[in-house]
């Protein structure tokens, strides 16, 4: 059993965006000091951390400085190179799994990992060149989804193929390298389930969250998810079993598709929290950031319990001004902003959580603001 972090000790956080900011606040709640590493001195986490090392994620000197000034390190962005983490691992504990991060950066490695752990996936094939696509479609059929094996090509990483006419368009995606072709799953719901583990091999899992996407990014969350109770329970069971199988330390977020027959498919996993879970700050006894801090500090995790029905809506940069105008009109809505000083379009700048007794009435109230048409 690893050593427990105590109040007054310092944890290093790599990644200064909104996930880093909210994780830092949770670490402060445990009495820990936070030393941030991020290249942007004006990033959201810099506003709440005790100190910051301004360095790129591939700057080994910056990582060395971090390592000698903290008792342990966590990361809140998957953009950090695993080589940088491995470089400091002999000096300071990197609490989350570096190997798991490496796996989740690559869809093919990720699928092999999930299959090894008996997780149900949609049928898929590895695509190296255009001729592979037609061979794979013979078994997978239309429609299907072509994705780059390497994650991180924001806005350019996938496309849907509806007919042979779309195969020619796939050439652009193949320029990024090897791809994955996946069967299209007719969806009833999309869920997010996030699980946490500590070095005591305790595991805690959050309730399943129903996620509504808009233009391929998180738009709304609803909890409890509007699925059959046995589907929500099975989603949690899958996450918990996977965490135990791999002796998870830190956080693992599962994105799941629920088919029309109630079948659950894991689409992908991540080793950082999900913005879709932000509503638990108001709706549960622990937020995801509380559980991340407790897991990395090797504190007892306890059990996450839902305290209220809730809806959350993402605030993007282009919607920030309009969202600020309705703050006084909805005094019971919990408006939270990340403190981003400047950002382009489609950047998350905050979120709203609404505790409710009527999900549909709340969704209609959000729609009637005419901010999120």
Query: Per the domain annotation, does 240 fall within a domain?
Result: yes
Round to whole Å and give the CA distance between 22 and 251. 14
**Domain end: 147, 162, 183, which one?**
183
Residue 115 and residue 103: Cα distance in Å, rounded?
13
Q: Note whether residue 118 is domain-resident.
A: no
Are 132 and 266 in a shared domain?
no
Question: Does 247 share its domain with 320?
Answer: yes
194 is written with which tokens?
A: 């996030």
Angle at the Cα of 195 from the Cα atoms of 191 and 197, rounded to 5 degrees: 170
Question: Is residue 214 domain-shared with residue 160, that is, in the same domain?
Answer: no
Assess if residue 280 is contained within a domain.
yes
User: Do 85 and 155 share a structural domain?
Assistant: no
Phi, psi at 272, each rounded to 5°:
-135, 165
Residue 250 lies in a domain: yes
pLDDT of residue 208: 98
310 CB neighbour count, 10 Å cutoff = 25
What is the rounded CA–CA span in Å between residue 229 and residue 327?
34
- 372, 252, 253: which is closest to 312 by C-alpha? 372
Q: How far apart are CA 28 and CA 34, in angstroms?
A: 7
Specify the pLDDT at position 170: 86
Residues 271 and 140 reside in one and the same domain = no
CB atoms within 10 A of CB 247: 11
Asked if residue 107 belongs to a domain, the reply is no
Q: What confidence score (pLDDT) does residue 155 get?
A: 52
Q: Is 233 helix (H, G, I), strand (E, B) or coil?
A: helix
Sign of CA dihedral 129, 130, 133, 134: negative
One domain, residues 238 and 338:
yes
Q: How many residues does the chain have?
A: 373
**Which structure tokens are listed for 346?**
């489609």
What is the C-alpha to C-alpha distance for residues 244 and 114, in angstroms, rounded to an integer? 13
Quick check: is 106 in a domain? Answer: no
Question: How many domains, in total, are found in the chain?
Answer: 3
Contact criterion met (CB below 8 Å) for 309 and 363 = no
In 3D, which of 125, 156, 153, 154 has the Cα closest to residue 141?
A: 125
Q: What is the pLDDT of residue 153?
A: 53
Give the CATH number for residue 204.
3.30.470.20
Local mean pLDDT, 10-residue blocks, the chain (373 residues):
88 98 98 98 97 98 98 97 98 96 96 96 94 92 94 74 90 90 93 97 97 92 97 97 96 95 94 97 97 96 95 96 97 97 86 98 97 88
What confidence score (pLDDT) does residue 215 get? 84
Tell me the pTM. 0.94
Q: Do 213 and 346 belong to one domain?
A: yes
Residue 115 maps to a domain: no
Q: Both 49 and 132 in a single domain?
A: no
Q: Quick check: bond before 365 cis, omega within 30?
A: no
Domain check: are 191 and 46 in the same one? Answer: no
Q: In this structure, what CATH number is given to the domain that contains residue 173?
A: 3.30.1490.20
pLDDT at 1: 60
**Full domain range(s) for residue 86:** 10-95
Query: Is 73 in the same domain as 204?
Result: no
Please list the alpha-helical segments (H only) found in the chain. 18-29, 60-67, 82-88, 98-104, 107-116, 130-140, 170-174, 229-245, 280-283, 288-296, 320-325, 359-368
Beta bridge partners of 5: none
Q: What is the pLDDT of residue 168?
A: 87
> Which domain-ending residue is among 183, 205, 222?
183
Decide: 235 and 264 in contact? Cβ < 8 Å.
yes
177 and 195 co-located in one domain: no
How far is Cα 57 from Cα 279, in angstroms, rounded to an integer? Answer: 29
Q: List the CATH number of the domain containing 75.
A: 3.40.50.20
> 2 in a domain, yes or no?
no
Looking at the fold, whether 293 and 358 belong to one and the same domain comes out as yes
Are 11 and 73 within 8 A, CB to CB?
yes
Residue in the structure block whose two tokens are 């005591």: 200
């Amino acid at each position: 059993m690893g050593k427990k972090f105590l109040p007054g000790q310092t944890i290093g956080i790599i990644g200064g965006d909104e996930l880093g900011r909210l994780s830092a606040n949770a670490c402060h709640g445990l009495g820990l000091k936070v030393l941030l590493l991020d290249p942007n001195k004006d990033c959201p986490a810099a506003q709440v951390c005790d100190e910051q090392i301004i360095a790129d994620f591939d700057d080994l000197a910056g990582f060395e400085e971090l390592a000698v000034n903290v008792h342990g390190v966590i990361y809140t962005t998957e953009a950090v190179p695993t080589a940088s983490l491995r470089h400091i691992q002999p000096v300071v504990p990197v609490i989350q799994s570096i190997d798991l991060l490496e796996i989740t950066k690559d869809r093919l490695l990720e699928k092999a990992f999930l299959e090894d752990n008996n997780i149900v996936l949609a049928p898929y094939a590895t695509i190296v060149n255009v001729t592979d696509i037609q061979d794979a479609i013979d078994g997978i059929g239309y429609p299907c989804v072509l994705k780059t094996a390497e994650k991180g090509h924001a806005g350019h990483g996938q496309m849907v193929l509806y007919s042979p006419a779309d195969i020619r368009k796939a050439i652009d995606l193949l320029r990024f390298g090897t791809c994955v072709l996946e069967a299209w799953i007719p969806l009833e719901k999309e869920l997010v389930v996030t699980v946490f583990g500590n070095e005591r091999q305790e595991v805690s899992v959050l309730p399943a969250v129903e996620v509504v996407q808009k233009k391929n990014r998180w738009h709304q969350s609803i909890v409890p998810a509007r699925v059959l109770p046995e589907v929500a329970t099975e989603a949690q069971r899958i996450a918990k079993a996977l965490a135990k199988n791999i002796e998870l330390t830190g956080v693992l977020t599962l994105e799941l598709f629920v088919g029309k027959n109630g079948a659950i498919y894991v689409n992908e996993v991540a080793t950082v929290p999900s913005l879709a879970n932000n509503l638990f700050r108001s709706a549960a006894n622990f937020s995801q950031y509380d559980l991340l801090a407790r897991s990395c500090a090797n504190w007892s995790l306890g059990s996450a319990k839902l305290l209220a029905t809730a809806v959350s809506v993402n605030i993007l940069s282009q919607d920030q001004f309009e969202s600020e105008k309705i703050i006084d009109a909805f005094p019971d809505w919990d408006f939270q902003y990340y403190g981003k000083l400047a950002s382009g379009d489609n950047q998350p700048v905050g979120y709203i959580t609404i505790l409710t007794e009527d999900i549909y009435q709340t969704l209609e109230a959000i729609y009637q603001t005419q901010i999120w048409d």
